[in-house]
Amino acid sequence: MLRRLLFILLSIQSSAVSLTAPSDVLALQSIKSSINPISIPTWSCLFSWNFTSDPCSPSRIPSHFICGITCSSSSSRILSLVLDPAGYAGRLSPLISNLTFLTHLDLSDNSFTGPIPPSLSLLSNLQTLTLTSNSFTGPVPSSLSNLTSLQSLDLSRNSLTGPLPANMASMSALRTLDLSFNELSGSLPKLPPNLVQLALKGNSLTGTVSRSVFGRLNSLEVVELGDNGLSGRIGGWFFLLPSLQQVDLAKNSLTGVEVPKGGSSAVVAVDLGFNGIEGRLAAEWAGFRRLSALSLRHNRLKGGIPMEYGLKRPEPFKRLFLDGNFLKGTVPDGFLGSDSIWGSFGDNCLEGCPASSTLCLPRQKPVTVCRQVYGKRTRGLSD
Ligand SMILES: *[C@@H]1O[C@H](CO)[C@@H](O)[C@H](O)[C@H]1NC(C)=O
Ligand SMILES: *[C@@H]1O[C@H](CO)[C@@H](O)[C@H](O)[C@H]1NC(C)=O
Ligand SMILES: *[C@@H]1O[C@H](CO)[C@@H](O)[C@H](O)[C@H]1NC(C)=O
């Protein structure tokens, strides 16, 4: 009898406060129970997830569900799941895919391990997915390409392996893609057509920077592909992508770069340092009107520094790193006395670049090395 009364009382109470969709509550419970309890500090969001309250109910116990979720105005569905960086360790429950109204998911700076659940692709309303700085392993699920509302995907600083999904070009809303500092390999697939920022730094990507991958990316402003294994020549078309501003292709295995007439290019910074780029230093770089930072340090460039670099360009170079090549001749007028430029002409085969000028450090290569490159009778290497 008493039992029955208690049951009725409990039912009344729960029907009065139960607003959140039961499948969402079950998903949240599953997410919490997949985390090692020892990694849930008492001051954290997850600790406050006490399921004796209804997560979205305005009349829940005030110390319950303090943070971590936002609910729809009807208080029935979870719209965002943004966890604090408390050090949560564990797996991400695949049941997260039942939070079908979710638009923002951010679990950054924690210690999640295991795979990224392919079922995330069922979150068709997702606009941002941020899992940076965790310890996720396994591939970038190819199913994520089904997230056609996704605008930002940040899986950087994990331990993801394997190739980029081949079908990413279907992510037509994606503007920001950051998969930097993982262990991704293989060549670049066709990329999402409306990308603005592409960051794939610090992986093991190979293959070339090809027109079939980048050719139609008319909104692309920032390309960070440094510290990979990319090879071959960069075609001139690349620097003429209409929105391109910043390019980091340093620390790859590139062997050549074709520099077009810059004209109306919006490019402001180019880093091609630490590659194997051969040939002469292109005078055309000086024609990129807005280019203020150029690094070609530690390549295999020969010949002189074009006079055009020293002329009064509309936007004078603020950073110019040409050290670690085989450049010969002299530094164009105006550089050595200038204190508005940061850079280096050191470690080349230049004349009249005294080690007393900081721009000329480190000191030039030994004459014997330069003679091996240019032959004995090269003018300007007479000593
Ligand atoms: C999660 O969603 C699937 C359908 O996608 C459903 O079959 C399942 O019952 C749901 N799980 C829970 C715990 O609500
Ligand atoms: C959850 O909340 C109930 C009611 O306030 C409380 O009795 C219980 O101890 C809480 N559970 C935890 C794990 O804090
Ligand atoms: C992706 O979407 C397509 C079509 O909408 C569907 O056929 C396919 O099964 C989905 N793939 C995954 C892995 O969700």
377 pLDDT higher than 50: yes
| Residues whose beta carbon lies within 6 Å of some atom of ligand 2 | 50, 52, 61
Is ligand 1 within 6 A of the CB of residue 213?
A: no
- Reduced to 3 states (helix: H, G, I; strand: E, B; else coil), residue 240 is helix
Q: Which of 122, 146, 147 to mutate to test the pocket of ligand 3 (most atoms within 8 A of CB)?
A: 146
For residue 141, which atom of ligand 3 is closest to its CA? Answer: 13
**Residue-level pLDDT at 375:** 83
How far does residue 55's CA lie from ligand 2's centre (Å)?
14
**Residue 382 pLDDT greater than 80, yes or no:** no
Which amino acid does the sequence have at 188? L
Distance 93 CA to ligand 1 centre (A): 13
pLDDT surpasses 60 at 249: yes
The answer to whether the CB of 23 is under 6 A from ligand 1 is yes
Nearest CA to ligand 2 atom 12: 50
Q: Is the C-beta atom of 158 inside 6 A of ligand 1?
A: no
% of residues, the chain, pLDDT over 70: 93
Give yes or no for residue 3 having a pLDDT over 80.
no
Side-chain-facing half-sphere of 135: CA atoms under 13 Å: 10
* Kind plus residue range of the DSSP H or E element containing 11: helix 2-17
Beta strand 326-329 with 349-350 is parallel
Per 3-state DSSP, what percentage of the chain is helix, strand, and coil (rounded to 5)?
Answer: 20, 20, 55
Residue nearest to atom 5 of ligand 3 (CA): 146
Tokens at 264, concatenated? 């109306």
Determine if residue 139 is left, alpha or beta; phi over 0 gives left, psi from -120 to 50 gives alpha, anything else beta: beta
pLDDT at 10: 46
Instruction: Please return the burial class of 89, using the count of CB atoms within 10 Å of its CB with bins 0-12, 13-18 and 19+.
Output: middle
With a cut of 90, say whether residue 6 has pLDDT above it.
Answer: no
Q: Using CA atoms, how far apart are residues 240 and 263, in angstroms rounded to an integer? A: 9
Query: pLDDT, tens digit, for every residue of 135-176?
Result: 999 999 999 999 999 999 999 999 999 999 999 999 999 999
Nearest to 76 by CA among 23, 150, 117, 2: 23
Mean pLDDT of the region 321-327 = 97
pLDDT in tens, 126-142: 999 999 999 999 999 99
Closest CA to 254 of 279, 273, 233: 233
The answer to whether residue 109 scores a pLDDT higher than 90 is yes
Q: Grade residue 378 by pLDDT with cuts at 50, 70 and 90.
A: low
Q: Which atom of ligand 3 is nearest to the CA of 143?
A: 13
Instruction: Give φ, ψ of 200 to 5 degrees.
Output: -135, 25
Query: How many Å lie between the centroid of ligand 1 and the Cα of residue 95?
Result: 7
| CATH architecture, domain defined by 79-374 | Alpha-Beta Horseshoe (3.80)
Give CA separation, 322 vs 198, 254, 280, 302, in Å. 26, 16, 12, 11
* Backbone phi, psi, residue 237, to 5°: -55, -30
CA distances (Å), origin 185, targets 63, 200, 224, 342:
46, 11, 16, 35
pLDDT given at position 336 = 85
**Residue 182 banded pLDDT, cuts 50, 70, 90:** very high
164 alpha carbon to ligand 3 midpoint, in Å? 17
Looking at the chain, the whole-number percentage of residues with pLDDT higher than 90 is 84
Sketch the domain layout of the chain as residue ranges: 79-374
Identity at 21, one-letter amino acid code: A
CA of 268 to the centre of ligand 2 (A): 56
DSSP state of 346: -
* Whether pLDDT at 311 is above 90: no
Q: Which ligand lies nearest to the CA atom of residue 46 in the structure? A: 2
Residue 46 CA to residue 163 CA, distance in Å, equals 33
* Neighbouring C-beta atoms of residue 366, cutoff 10 Å: 10
Residue type, 24: D
Site residues for ligand 3, CB cut-off 6 Å: 121, 143, 146
Strand order in 278-280's β-sheet? 278-280, 300-304, 326-329, 349-350
Q: What is the pLDDT of residue 11?
A: 45
Nearest-CA residue for atom 3 of ligand 2: 52
Query: Does the C-beta of 124 come closer than 6 Å to ligand 1?
Result: no
DSSP states of 47-63: GG--TTS-TT-TTS-TT
93 Cβ below 6 A of ligand 1: no
Rounded distance from Cα 265 to ligand 3 centre (Å): 39
The Å distance, Cα 329 to ligand 3 centre, comes to 60
Which protein residue's CA is at the shortest distance from atom 6 of ligand 3?
146
What is the CA(123)–ligand 1 centre distance, in A? 13
Q: pTM value?
A: 0.91
pLDDT at 4: 54
Distance (Å, whole) CA 33 – CA 9 = 28
Residue 312, pLDDT > 80, answer no
Residue 14 has pLDDT above 60, yes or no: no
Q: Among 98, 99, 102, 124, name the best residue to mutate to test ligand 1's pocket (greatest count of ligand atoms within 8 A of Cβ).
A: 98
